[in-house]
Amino acid sequence: MMLSFAGKRVAISGGAIGFGREMARQFQALGAEVHVCDIRAEAMQDLSEAGIATAVVDLCDRQAAAGWIDAVSRQGARAIDVLINNAGGVAGQQGKAIAQVSDAEWDSVIDINLNATFALSRAVAPLMKQAGQGKIINISSGAALKASLTGVQAYCAAKHAVLGLTRQLAHELGPFGINVNAVAPGFVFTNDATRKQWENFGEARQQQLLQGIALRRLGSVEDIAHAAVFLASDLSSFINGQIISVDGGS
């Protein structure tokens, strides 16, 4: 069976680097019209040159997030077929004792991981309902199922909350032909922060982490994008409200 997204419109948040960038590349290769937004303009330049529609949006601004969905859906007659809530991360933070965490630090992580997922989903849901179909894929984390390797409390809390939102929206939107699922990636090198984090673990902890993965390797951006492609495809049409761990078996 050949997978094709020809004629489909796919919107990916946080597509400048890492998983989002690889997803954009894979969906485009499978024929989709791909739209990406991110806060980093420069990092998206080559994506635009490759024919991917890009927009600079600060997703912590919920109005701006909704404005992006509106702008994408107004281009041509098509609805948005697939929304991938991928933007997230630890907002440049490192784990520290909860007593040292400021309100601003807590809020910034909740904003990009949870509130942006809420804002984009809220904006796209009526459009997908009108179209009678759609797929929403939330990129959560292994940190939604256990404590986070990052030690960032807000990150762990936000990724757990994204799962709750996934399950609730699956029930709310399922009757309208919309599937809502989540992907929970294990640790993957995507940026300087993840590389630094791995270095900081030191040799012994790195080996311990690898021994804790059944397949004895870290995942790749390709591994995570493949799960998103599967969940966006017709192959997963009866999968709803689920979380797929892509972590090599932990």
Nearer to ligand NAD, 88 or 134 (CB): 88
Identified binder of ligand NAD from the candidate list 11, 47, 52, 60, rule CB under 6 A: 60
Pick the piece of the chain touching ligand NAD (CB under 6 A) from 119-127, 170-178, 184-192, 201-209: 184-192
Q: Which stretch binds ligand NAD (CB under 6 A): 16-24, 127-135, 171-179, 204-212?
A: 16-24
Give min distance, CB of 131 to ligand NAD, in A. 25
What residues are labeled active site? Answer: 155
Distance CA 122, CA 37 (A): 17
Taking the least distance from each CB to ligand NAD, the nearer of 32 and 87 is: 87
Closer Cβ to ligand NAD, 4 or 50, answer by number: 50
Among 143, 119, 134, residue whose Cα is nearest residue 247: 143
Please report whether residue 191 would count as binding ligand NAD according to CB under 6 A: yes
Contacting residue, 26, 32, 137, 185, with ligand NAD by CB under 6 A: 185
Q: What is the largest CA-CA distance in the chain?
A: 55
Burial class (CB in 10 A: 0-12, 13-18, 19+), 77: exposed
Shortest Å distance, C-beta 179 to ligand NAD: 19
- Residue of 81, 44, 86, 48 whose CA lies nearest to 65: 86
Give the contact letters, 73-112, x = binds to ligand NAD (CB under 6 A), - = no. Answer: -------------xxxx----------------------x
Q: Which stretch binds ligand NAD (CB under 6 A): 71-79, 122-130, 188-196, 200-208?
A: 188-196
Q: Virtual CA dihedral for 134, 115, 221, 190, nearest 10 degrees?
A: 160
Structural contact between residues 231 and 3, judged by C-beta atoms closer than 8 angstroms: no
Residue-by-residue DSSP string for 80-95? P-EEEE---S-TT---
| Binding residue for ligand NAD, selected from 59, 114, 156, 182, defined by CB under 6 A | 59
Q: Is residue 68 involved in binding ligand NAD (CB under 6 A)?
A: no
3 state SS of 103: helix
List of residues 6+ apart from 148 with CB closer than 8 A: 95, 141, 142, 155, 156, 159
- Crossing angle of the two packed helices 153-173 and 103-110, in degrees rounded to 10: 30
Determine, following the binding rule CB under 6 A, whether residue 243 of this chain makes contact with ligand NAD: no
Select the residue interacting with ligand NAD from 26, 54, 190, 245 (CB under 6 A).
190
**Does 16 participate in binding ligand NAD (rule CB under 6 A)?**
yes
